[in-house]
């Protein structure tokens, strides 16, 4: 698929055919996506490829329990549909510490800059986000559907515990992947003029 077409036709897929997906295809998607940029070329990501239905159902159960405890309501479908996909990728952010971070960390005069860099600019998370965006596009190019999900991470500590993810690593997203059942049309987008300001 041509790049522009891939970008314009990709959409979040939340319904999947039950058929299995070849592990080699998942590895190929990740291998291509590793070409994504990252701060300092840190490549500070790691992927758990979850195919085991018991594990996926258990994760869903945790999300439902935590959501209910927090809100008093049942979790909406957009938080919990992931276990219906044949494969779910759990995306982990590994720590990224740039040379400037080491300087800011010990600099009392620049506490606010340190905070902004760490928690607002957050280059480590930006790198992993770019990796995730690549995975979605590459999966689409391979004829698969996927959805970037942070909703289930209301149960972040519980899921991390289940998968054995330990600090300083952080689970940042789940991506269900599978053969898409096309149901939704493409969601709308703003025009380009709404998101630009030209400084010439």
Ligand X SMILES: Cc1cc2nc3c(=O)[nH]c(=O)nc-3n(C[C@H](O)[C@H](O)[C@H](O)COP(=O)(O)O)c2cc1C
* Residue whose CB is less far from ligand X, 99 or 188: 188
Of the residues 24, 167, 187, 188, which one makes contact with ligand X according to CB under 6 A: 187
- Tell me if 78 contacts ligand X by CB under 6 A: yes
What single string gives the DSSP state of each residue in 116-127? IIIIII-HHHHH
Task: Dig out the tokens for 113 from the structure.
Answer: 């800059």
- Tell me if 150 contacts ligand X by CB under 6 A: yes
Of the residues 66, 92, 137, 147, which one makes contact with ligand X according to CB under 6 A: 147
Of the residues 6, 12, 40, 51, which one makes contact with ligand X according to CB under 6 A: 12
* 69 contacts 158 by C-beta, under 8 angstroms: no
- Tell me if 15 contacts ligand X by CB under 6 A: no
Report the phi/psi class of residue 188: left, alpha or beta, with left for phi > 0 and alpha for psi in -120 to 50: beta
C-beta of 10: minimal distance to ligand X in Å?
7
Beta bridge partners of residue 45, listed in sequence order: 93
Alpha carbons 1 and 143: distance in angstroms, whole number:
10
The footprint of ligand X (CB under 6 A) covers 11-12, 14, 78, 147-151, 187
């Amino acid at each position: 698929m041509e790049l522009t077409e891939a970008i314009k036709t990709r959409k979040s897929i939340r319904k999947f055919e039950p058929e299995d997906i070849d592990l080699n295809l998942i590895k190929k998607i990740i291998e291509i996506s590793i070409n994504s940029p990252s701060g300092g070329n840190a490549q500070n990501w790691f992927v758990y490829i979850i195919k085991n239905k018991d594990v996926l159902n258990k994760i869903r159960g945790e999300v439902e329990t935590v959501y209910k405890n927090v809100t008093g309501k049942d979790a909406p479908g957009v938080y919990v549909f992931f276990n219906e996909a044949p494969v779910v990728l759990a995306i982990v952010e590994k720590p990224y510490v740039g040379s400037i971070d080491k300087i800011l960390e010990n600099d009392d005069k620049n506490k606010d800059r340190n905070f902004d860099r760490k928690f607002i600019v957050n280059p480590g998370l930006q790198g992993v986000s770019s990796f995730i965006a690549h995975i979605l596009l590459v999966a689409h190019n391979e004829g698969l559907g996927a959805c970037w999900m942070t909703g289930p991470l209301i149960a972040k500590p519980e899921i991390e515990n289940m998968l054995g993810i330990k600090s300083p690593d952080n689970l940042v997203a789940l991506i269900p992947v599978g053969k898409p059942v096309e149901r939704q049309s493409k969601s709308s987008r703003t025009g380009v003029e709404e998101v630009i300001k030209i400084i010439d």
